Amino acid sequence: MEQEQIIDAIRDKYKLLGENPDTYLKGLLQAKPMNYWDYVQVDTLLSLQKPRTDFADEEIFIMYHQVTELLLKLLLHEIKQVVNASEVTEWFLIKKISRMNRYTKMLITSFDVMRDGMDYNDYNTFRSALAPASGFQSAQFRLIEIYCTRIENLINEEGKKRLSAEPGIEEYFEHIYWKDAGLNHATGEKTLTLRQFEEKYEEGFIALAKKVTGKTIEEIVNNMSHPSDALREILREFDRLYNIEWPLVHLNTAKHYLDSKGENKAATGGSEWKKYLHPHFQQRKFFPSLWAEDEIKNWGTELTSGSMPTS
């Protein structure tokens, strides 16, 4: 565009907003040039690591989890665009799920930083200063689940046995799979890790679950008349990466630090981590209709095949 056309377009933009264009043009004249460190907020970002001990590798531990939260935010960025779209085409969904798969692969491969990037003895010393904090308390992880699938898909087989005939959202949350990591069902006693998490986030989780009922990614796909094999396969890939491969890498990393010498150390959040972290126990599937019966039965016991299920 020519310079005059650009200025006219700017004027038209602000006139449509009912604003005086000259005010904004004067402001632009005074604005400082943009630079990388201000745009990315580098100084703020690099100041967010606050170790609780003097062990050097604790800073690696903090940064790794901060990177994980940023990757989860990237996933949510794509998911929200799908869930909030007025119309979702198959092309649009394939593009968004492809990005989500790419981010999830980064989550999986990044665990090498945790497994091989910290001193074994130092980690097992400084971790005691972190209790009762736990990656279990990642709210973004739970938001992804709520946006992706119906809440009933987040109830494992044991949880389903405890449900009434017609459970509501609140009852589903009482028996959601992840509470098994911090709740003794026999006594009703909850760990401090779970109590803190519920107090801070559960009300918002329930409100979101109600808001997206009928609009989760699973339901958007289920409402498509004839989803293509390409779409089905890319959704299966996301389900496998996020709900099987990533938890298994997490579990194996935990074993490296907590049980590689047979010590069977406790998790900082107090969960039965060997059981809780395994995808076969979690039974979390975002798109159950895309999997064959035997694949669901063997979920997480071996890496699920990438082949299409027979229907």
For the segment 150-168, the average pLDDT, to the nearest whole number, is 95
Lowest mean pLDDT among 73-87, 119-133, 167-181, 201-215: 119-133
Tokens 């898909």 found at: 153
CA–CA dist 155, 145 (Å, integer): 12
Q: How many domains does the chain have?
A: 1
Q: Is the residue at 235 inside a domain?
A: yes
Q: Residue 194 domain-assigned? A: yes
What mean pLDDT, rounded, does the chain reach?
91
Q: Tens digit of pLDDT for each residue in 220-279?
A: 999 999 999 999 999 999 999 999 999 999 888 878 877 666 666 665 555 566 667 888
Confirm whether 277 is domain-assigned.
Answer: yes
- The strand pairing partners of 190, in sequence order, are 183
In a domain, 75, yes or no: yes
Q: Closest Cα partner for 252 from 289, 288, 278, 281?
A: 278
pTM of structure: 0.89
Q: Does residue 37 lie in a domain region?
A: no
Quick one: average pLDDT of 36-58? 96
CA distance 58 to 114: 11
Count of beta carbons in the 10 Å neighbourhood of residue 156: 17
pLDDT reported for residue 22: 93
Is 38 part of a structural domain of the chain? no
Look up the domain containing 258 and give its range.
Answer: 59-297
Q: What is the mean pLDDT of residues 199-207?
A: 98
Give the domain CATH number at 177: 1.20.58
Q: Does residue 39 belong to any structural domain of this protein?
A: no
The residue among 81 and 2 whose pLDDT is bigger is 81
Q: How confident is the model at residue 311 (pLDDT cuts 50, 70, 90)?
A: very low
Q: What is the pLDDT of residue 42?
A: 98
Does some domain include residue 71?
A: yes
Cβ atoms of residues 236 and 287 within 8 Å: yes
C-alpha angle 11-13-17 in degrees, rounded to nearest 5: 110
Exposure string of 125-154, with b = 16+ CB inside 10 Å and e = fewer, is ebbeeeebebebbbeebbbbbbbbbbbebb
- pLDDT tens, residue by residue, 99-122: 999 999 999 999 888 888 899 889
> CA of 64: how far to CAs of 42, 258, 281, in Å?
17, 18, 26
